[in-house]
């Protein structure tokens, strides 16, 4: 049906994945021909830390994937001296 967004995993799969796990990723795939990831980023980021990861395959216009995420449980920083947890915003169950 046009205009609907399919959330993945579905409820049944989510319940199965969540059994015994503190965190289960939930996502939706969208064809974003009106908004850009850069344009959506401020809405997702809000006042806190957020990320925007984009890929382009061989300079093609299609085949791009963007991941926008905000409201992290923790901030992890990687640098020349290694990886460290900088901030724990909230504990995971």
- 2 assigned to some structural domain: no
Residue 46 lies in a domain: yes
70 is a domain residue: yes
Structural domain of 44: 7-88
C-alpha to C-alpha distance for 85 and 78, rounded to whole angstroms: 9
pTM: 0.56
Write down the pLDDT at residue 1: 43
Residue 12: predicted pLDDT: 94
Model pLDDT, residue 13: 93
93 assigned to some structural domain: no
Question: Alpha helix (H) ranges present in 1-93?
Answer: 11-18, 37-45
Cis before residue 51, ω within 30 degrees of 0?
no
Nearest-5° Cα angle at 15, 9 to 17: 70
Say if 1 falls within a structural domain.
no
Count structural domains, the chain: 1
pLDDT, averaged in runs of 10, over the chain (93 residues)? 77 91 83 78 87 77 77 90 89 73
């Amino acid at each position: 049906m046009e205009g609907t967004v399919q959330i993945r995993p579905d409820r049944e799969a989510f319940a199965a994945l969540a059994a015994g796990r503190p965190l289960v990723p939930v996502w939706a795939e969208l064809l974003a021909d009106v908004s850009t990831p850069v344009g959506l980023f401020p809405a997702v980021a809000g006042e806190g830390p957020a990320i925007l990861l984009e890929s382009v395959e061989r300079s093609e216009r299609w085949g791009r994937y963007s991941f926008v995420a905000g409201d992290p449980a923790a901030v992890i920083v990687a640098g020349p001296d290694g990886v460290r947890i900088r901030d724990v915003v909230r504990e995971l169950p």
